[in-house]
Structure 1
Amino acid sequence: MYIASRTFLITGAASGLGAACAERLVEEGGRVVLCDLSDAIEDLSARLGAAAIAVRTDVTSAEDMQAAVDAAVAHGGEKGLAGVIHCAGVVSVAKLLDRQGQPADLEAYARTVQINLVGTFNVMRLAAAAMAANSSGEDGERGVIINTASVAAFDGQVGQCAYSASKAGVVGMSLPAARELSRHGIRVMAIAPGVFETPMMGDIPDDAVAALEQAVPFPKRLGRPEEFARLAEQIITNPMLNGEVIRLDGGIRMQ
C-alpha cells in the first residue's frame, strides 16, 4: 500500500506515538484524521495543514468512533479510508492486594480493559466495515489496521494485572482478526513497544527512568516516538506483514 494520497485514522493522536505517526504519514504525502479526547489534536491538525483533520473521539464509544470513521472516509474522497493506527490507551498500576491486604478496585480494572481492549475491538470493527467497501488495490488489498500492544503483554510486572491483561488481549486478537479480514483484503498487525519517551513517562521519577534505560540491552535509552512511526510506515507499505505482533523494545525483557 502506498501512503501518498491515502487517508489514515490515528487514535491517541494528541501526543506521543500517535502524534509521531501522524507527522510521519503527512511527511510521506498521506492524509490523517486525528482522534483523541485532548484538545491538543486541534493544534496538531493546524500544524499539519490541510492534510489533517481533528475529531474528538472516545474509542470506547460506538457513536464517537463511527463519526470519526465517517470523517476519515469523507477526507479520503474516492479512495476512502486506507488504514488505522490505533494508539489510544491507558496505563494502570494496582496490586491485587495493597499493603493493608485490601483487594484491588474492580471498577479500575474494568476501565483499563474497557479502554485498551474493548476500545481496540471497537476501532477495528468500524474501520474494517469502512475499508471493506474500498476498491481493491495491488494484491486485492483494501486496508490495514495497526494496533498497539505492549511488552507488558508478555513480561507483565507486579501491579500490571489489568494493563498486561488488556494488552495480551490485543495480541490475542491480532491473528484471528487478520484471518477473518483477509477475505476483505484487510491486513491486521500489532506493535508491542517497550519503554518509550511518551507523556506517560512524565509521571515516573528520573531515577526510575534511568533504571529502565539501563534495562534495555541496546540502545540503552528509551524508544523514540518517531521509531514507532517508522515501523508503522513499514507495516503499511509491506504487504507481507500480516497477523503478527512485532516487539519494538531494544531487546528489553521486563522483570
Structure 2
Amino acid sequence: MDTYGHVAIVTGGGSGLGAATARALAAKGAKVALFDINLDAAQSVAHEIGGLALSCNVSSADDAEKAVARVIDELDTPRILVNCAGIANAGRIVGRDGPHDLELYRRVIEVNLIGSFNMLRLISNAASKLDPLETGERGVIISTASVAAFDGQIGQAAYASSKAGIAGLTLPAARELARFGIRVMAIAPGIFGTPMLLAMPQEVQNSLAASIPFPSRLGKPDEYAALALHIIENPMLNGETIRLDGAIRMAPK
C-alpha cells in the first residue's frame, strides 16, 4: 500500500518507536493521528509533522472509540494502524515481598495486549467498509510485540506474556481479516534506544548493547519505523511477527 494521502493512526505516538513511525509516515505523505496517554508529548510531535494529537487510553473501549470517531470526522477513515503504546513493568512471580502483584500483571496485559486488540478491532471494522485499493487492500495493521515474547527473562512474566499474546494474535487476525483485504503484522523489537532505556545509566546501556551480536548497539527507533513502512508497502507481508533484534537471544536474566 502506498501511504500517500491515507490516514494512519499511531498509538504511543508521543515518543520512542511511535514518534519515529509517525514522522516516517508523515514524510511519506500520510495523514497521521497520534494517540497517547501523554497528550503534551503527542501534541509536540503532531505540531512537528502536521498531524492530529489525541489523548487516548488504548485499553479503554470508550476512550478508543471516541478517539477513532474524531479521526474519521477530522481526517477520514484510517487504512493504517501502528500499535506502539505499551508499558514494561517488571516483577518476579515470587519475590521478596510475596507473590507478584495481580493488579500490576493485569495492567500490563490491559495496555499491551488488550490495548492492541482494542485498536485492531476498531480500525479493521472501519477499514472493512472502505473501497479496496488497486492492490485489493483496504488496510494494514501493525502491532508491537517484543523479543521477550520468545525469550522472556526472569522478572518479565507480565511483559513477556503480553507480547507473546500479540504474536499469537497476529496470524488468526490476518486469516480472519483477509476477506476484507486487511493485512495484520507484528514487529518484535530487541533492545532499542527508547526514552525508557536511555534513562538507564550509561554503563547499563553499554552492557545491553554489547549483548547484541550485530550490530552491537541499541536499535534506533527510525529502524523500527523503516520496517513498519516496508510492511505497509509490501502486500505479501501478512500474518507474521518479524524480529528486529540484531540476532540477540535474551539470557534468562
Superposed counterparts of 1:18-37, under 5 Å: 18-37=18-37
Quote the residue 1:121 is aligned against: 117
Deviation at 1:29, TM superposition (A): 1.1
Q: What residue identity is the alignment partner of 1:208?
A: V
| Counterpart in the other structure of 1:208 | 204
- Matches of 1:42 and 1:203 in 2, distance apart? 22
Q: Where does residue 57 of structure 1 map in the other structure? A: 56
Distance in 1 separating the partners of 2:72 and 2:234: 23
The CA distance in 1 between the partners of 2:137 and 2:65, in whole Å, is 22
Matched, 1:43 2:40: no
Give the TM-score normalised by structure 1.
0.95
Counterpart mapping for 1:215-254 below 5 A: 215-254=211-250
8 Å CA contact 1:7, 1:75 repeated in 2: no
Deviation at 1:98, TM superposition (A): 1.5
Letter in 1 for 2:54: V
Count, aligned residues: 250
Alignment counterpart, residue 99 of structure 1, candidates 96, 101, 121: 96
Higher alpha-carbon deviation: 198-207 or 68-77 = 68-77
Look up the SS of the partner of 1:221 in the other structure. coil
- 1:10 partnered with 2:10: yes
Q: Match for 1:18: what amino acid?
A: G
Structure 2 segments unaligned to the other structure (5+ residues): none
SS at match of 2:99: coil
Matches of 1:151 and 1:75, distance apart in 2 = 36
- 3-state SS of the aligned residue for 1:138? coil
Identity value in percent: 49
C-alpha deviation, 1:73, in angstroms:
2.3
2:167 is the alignment partner of 1:166: no
In structure 1, list runs of 5 or more residues that go unmatched.
Answer: none
1:157 corresponds, among 150, 153, 160, to 153
Q: Secondary structure at the match of 2:33?
A: strand
One-letter amino acid of the structure 1 residue matched with residue 183 of structure 2: R
RMSD (Å), alpha carbons: 1.1
Structure 2 distance, partners of 1:142, 1:243, is 15
